[in-house]
């Protein structure tokens, strides 16, 4: 249609993920003609720089989405539930980074390296998966394709930025207080809206999101259910234990898998991962090379290392998977979905 | 024989574990008549208070062990290899907290709650297992006894104090530098004697001890091999991924197990753990109660929580196990072995 670019809206523009979305749109030189930045009343009026220009953040209302082509939502599930349908009604395609619609069977849940073609059946809303799920399926999908996949057991080491800017501040403030021998009162983690809050600095908290009736947390159930949906494998055995550790950004995962095919060597597994899209194999024991969260910050890739064959089961393998939870885990995957929509002609300039 | 107590020696008396051994001997009111404190030349001459009396630390030599009944070693594998046989030659029973003799088939490897009776066939040296192994087998042994045990997959979240006093200092110094925006040079972790050193503050390092030819670290192989030896289960499937996180004291473990018996409910599993020796069940989701390293410091128990049944396998369960790595993981288990030796009449007053 000859436009210079799309009208993009970012909802939750001042949050930890929203900020990364705006930065990623700029870094990728995504064709933006108009950028509308939206937030709650509390943050409205703030100014954010995009490509050298100051843009004022506005209060998000249904009318905000008039003329918007793509709306990237990351302002919490309640905001998405209220406003995403309004955006769709006004002709926008919503890429939603909350859990509001992920398990809705009318909503594709997309990691472009895994199931880009699910975008074709969208009904206005596309869900961006949970951060810890995304980095895991990027590493598991090439394995599924080559060797088949039967079972996944994951234990996570998750950064506080997954809980937002306030959690980052809380970790820093607590660490300073503890090092200075001063007292402090936990107020945000493990879950801001839950009843009790615990020390995160120099600690590990085995609760991310609220507990479900089956004893798993909602974060654990997200990893289990979203992995099956994204990989189109309702029969896949998946179990997760999700733990918050005192890292600012960068989720790590210790993953045990069993593949269908017998007789796969660790060299074949490493070669496969080395060639897999968006995966960087960091695995050289002589050089003490393996992924670490401190090294992944600001990068779009998924880093995989410590690849080894289980000592008891021929089809068992262990992996260590690390990625920037704000980028591939959130902002970059959302912008990547927007790029796929353009590429597939599902939105047009 | 009418003595008031035993002649006890602590080798490595100024280290992180040695200090806890001395404190634990005092806290338990272990019958000590003479306490000989030994170290390398570097630390000799320092004074340590035991039951209100100052004791000067002496350089450890073969002659240091004359008249010693029980010698608790925690000064590194090389010191144990050189001096433990000398201590035995002079009539002492050695409880060795290093990995020097653990897999020696003539040396019992003992966690009293699990295999106290292995003490009866000692030949002078008794090995204290690796910290992360001890807390795991304390929780797994009652499960093995009641339901049988087939498979264990563990991912650890280990504190820096397991790498000694210098590693504690390094974590604190790095955290301060990062919070102040200053630079720093890692020098100790992941392994002091290995070639490369990495940031531990606000990071996670998937290497504890050196890498073996099979791609596992020595720490991971310790967990695998020691678990089989302590539990007398050479056929048990065990896999481990060991990770250092920025916690000062308190190891955490995400453990997946498969039991022999089918049809065990999560309530039966919790009840069993609640009644198990040295285990404290902390598992009340409505109260957000689960074990955390910050809560376990200074306590001798093994804390277990997040007990839940696997969603795919009827005989699969997930556990979260936390304990003070310097106490049950090291000093307390060593003193507990000394108490067992007295109780079983293997050493006499």
Q: Mind listing the pLDDT tens digit for each residue in B76-102?
A: 999 999 999 999 999 999 999 999 999
Scanning B47-86 for CB atoms below 8 A from A yields none
**Which residues are CB-contacts of A253 (< 8 A; sequence separation ≥ 6)?**
A132, A135, A136, A154, A155, A156, A157, A319, A320, A321, A322
CB contact set of B103 (below 8 Å; sequence gap of 6+) = B109, B225, B226, B229
What pLDDT does residue B284 have? 98
Structure tokens given for A316 = 């068992």
Q: Is there a contact between B203 and A292 if contact means CB atoms under 8 Å apart?
A: yes
Structure tokens at B45: 């001459």
Contact A199 B294 (CB under 8 A): yes
- Would you call A294 and B198 a contact, using CB atoms and an 8 Å cutoff? yes
Least Cα separation, residue A211 to chain B (angstroms):
7
For B224, list phi and psi in degrees, rounded to 5.
-70, -55
H/E stretch holding B228: helix B218-230
Dihedral sign, CA of B191, B195, B200, B203? Answer: negative
Q: How far is CA A129 from CA A115, A149, A152, A165, in A?
A: 12, 20, 18, 20
Binding residues of A for NADP(+): 14-17, 42-43, 161-162, 325
The SS3 of residue A333 is helix
| Beta strands across the sheet bearing B316-323 | B237-241, B149-157, B251-259, B316-323, B302-309, B279-281
pLDDT (tens digit, 9 = 90+) per residue, A307-330? 999 999 999 999 999 999 999 999
CATH top class, domain B133-325: alpha beta
Whether residue B157 and residue A157 make contact (CB cut-off 8 A), yes or no, is yes
The residue with tokens 């753990």 is B273
Residues of chain B with pLDDT under 50: none
Q: Is B42 marked within a binding site?
A: yes
Tell me the nearest-neighbour CA distance from B218 into chain A, angstroms.
13
Spell out which residues of chain A touch residue B153, defining contact as CB-CB under 8 Å: 153, 256
Cα separation, A315 vs A259, in Å, equals 5
C-alpha span between A225 and A231 (Å, rounded)? 10
**CA gap A123, B142 in Å, rounded:** 53
Strand partners, A154: A240, A255
CB within 8 Å: A206 and B290: yes
**Nearest CA-CA distance, residue B204 and chain A, Å:** 6
**For residues A17 and B328, what is the distance between their CA atoms, to the nearest angstrom?**
42
User: What positions of A carry a catalytic annotation?
Assistant: 131, 251
Q: Of the CATH numbers 3.60.15.10, 3.40.190.10, 3.30.300.130, 3.40.50.720, which one belongs to the domain with range A6-129+330-343?
A: 3.40.50.720
Contact criterion met (CB below 8 Å) for B316 and B310? yes
B43 is in an annotated binding site: yes
Residue B162 assigned ligand-binding role = yes
* Out of A207, A246, A311, closest to residue B246 by CB: A246
B302-309 vs B316-323, strand pairing mode: antiparallel
Q: Where do the H-state alpha helices sit in chain A?
A: 16-27, 77-89, 112-115, 131-147, 165-179, 218-230, 266-274, 293-296, 332-343
Q: Which residues of B touch A238 (CB under 8 A)?
A: 312
B323 belongs to an annotated ligand binding site: no
Sheet holding B70-73, edge to edge: B58-59, B32-39, B6-11, B70-73, B93-96, B125-127
Q: Which residue of B has its CA nearest to A177?
A: B176
Domain ranges of chain A: 6-129+330-343, 133-325
Please report the beta strands in A229-299, taking only residues with DSSP state E, as ranges in sequence order: 237-241, 251-259, 279-281
CA distance B268 to B314: 13
Residue among A221, A281, A283, A288 with most chain B CBs within 10 A, to mutate: A288
Note the Cα A344 to chain centre separation in Å: 22
Give me the pLDDT at residue A4, please. 87
Task: Report pLDDT for B2.
Answer: 61
B120-136 tens-digit pLDDT: 999 999 999 999 999 99
Which of A179, A199, A311 is closest, CB to CB, to B176?
A179
Considering CB atoms only, which of A195, A202, A241 is closest to B306? A241
The beta-carbon neighbor of B294 closest among A203, A252, A256 is: A203
C-alpha span between B329 and B323 (Å, rounded): 7
Quick check: B18 contacting A, CB < 8 Å?
Answer: no
B17 labelled binding-site residue: yes
A124 φ, ψ to 5°?
110, -35
> What distance in Å separates the CA atoms of residue B151 and residue B210, rounded to the nearest whole number?
25
Nearest to B37 by CA among B3, B69, B64, B67: B64
Please give the Cα distance from B337 to A250 (Å, whole number).
41
Q: Which of A243, A247, A307 sits opposite B254 (nearest CB)?
A: A243
With CA atoms as reference, the chain B residue closest to A288 would be B196
In eight-state DSSP terms, residue A244 is B
Contacts A–B by Cβ distance under 8 A: 158
Transcribe A46-64 into DSSP letters. -EEEETTEEEE-EE--GGG
How large is the angle between the packed helices A131-147 and A266-274, nearest 10 degrees? 120
User: Residues of A numbered 293-312 whose beta carbons fall under 8 angstroms of chain B's beta carbons: which are they?
Assistant: 293-294, 305-312
Interface of A with B in 126-185 (CB under 8 A): 151, 153, 155, 157, 172, 175-176, 179
Q: Which of A2, A216, A232 is nearest to A117 (CA)?
A: A232
Q: Which residues pair with B125 in a beta bridge?
A: B94
CB B45 within 8 A of CB B2: no
Query: pLDDT tens string for chain A (349 positions)?
Result: 568 899 999 999 999 999 999 999 999 999 999 999 999 999 999 999 999 999 999 999 999 999 999 999 999 999 999 999 999 999 999 999 999 999 999 999 999 999 999 999 999 999 999 999 999 999 999 999 999 999 999 999 999 999 999 999 999 999 999 999 999 999 999 999 999 999 999 999 999 999 999 999 999 999 999 999 999 999 999 999 999 999 999 999 999 999 999 999 999 999 999 999 999 999 999 999 999 999 999 999 999 999 999 999 999 999 999 999 999 999 999 999 999 999 999 999 8
CB contact under 8 A, B252 and A243: yes
**Annotated active-site positions of B, please?**
131, 251
| ipTM score over 0.90, yes or no | yes
Tell me the two tokens of residue A19.
């900020």
């Amino acid at each position: 249609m000859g436009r210079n670019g799309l009208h993009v809206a970012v909802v939750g523009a001042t949050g930890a993920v929203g900020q990364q979305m705006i930065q990623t749109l700029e870094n990728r030189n995504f064709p933006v003609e108009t950028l509308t930045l939206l937030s709650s009343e509390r943050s409205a009026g703030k100014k954010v720089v995009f490509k050298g220009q100051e843009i004022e953040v506005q209060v998000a209302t249904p009318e905000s989405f008039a003329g918007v082509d793509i709306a990237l939502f990351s302002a919490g599930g309640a905001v998405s539930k209220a406003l995403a349908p309004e955006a769709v009604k006004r002709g926008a395609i919503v890429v939603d980074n909350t859990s509001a619609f992920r398990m809705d069977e009318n909503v594709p849940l997309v990691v472009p390296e895994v199931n880009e073609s699910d975008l074709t059946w969208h009904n206005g809303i596309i869900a961006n998966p949970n951060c810890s799920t995304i980095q895991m399926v990027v590493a598991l999908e090439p394995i599924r394709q080559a060797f088949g996949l039967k079972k996944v057991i994951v234990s996570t080491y998750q950064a506080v930025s997954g809980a937002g800017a306030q959690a980052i501040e809380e970790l820093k403030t607590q660490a300073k207080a503890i090092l200075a021998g001063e007292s402090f009162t936990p107020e945000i983690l493990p879950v801001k809206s839950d009843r009790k809050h615990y020390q995160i600095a120099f600690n590990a908290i085995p609760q991310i999101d609220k507990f479900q009736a089956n004893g798993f947390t909602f974060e654990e159930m997200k990893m289990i259910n979203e992995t099956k949906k994204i990989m189109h494998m309702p029969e896949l055995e998946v179990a997760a234990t999700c733990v918050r550790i005192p890292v600012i950004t960068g989720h790590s995962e210790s993953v045990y898998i069993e593949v269908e095919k017998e007789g796969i060597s660790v060299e074949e597994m490493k070669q496969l991962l080395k060639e897999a899209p968006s995966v960087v194999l960091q695995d050289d024991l002589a050089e003490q090379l393996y992924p670490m969260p401190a090294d992944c910050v600001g990068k779009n890739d998924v880093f995989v290392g410590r690849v080894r064959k289980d000592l008891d089961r021929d089809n068992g393998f262990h992996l260590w998977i690390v990625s920037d939870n704000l980028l591939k885990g959130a902002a970059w995957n959302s912008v990547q979905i927007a790029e796929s929509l353009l590429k597939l002609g599902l939105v047009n300039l």
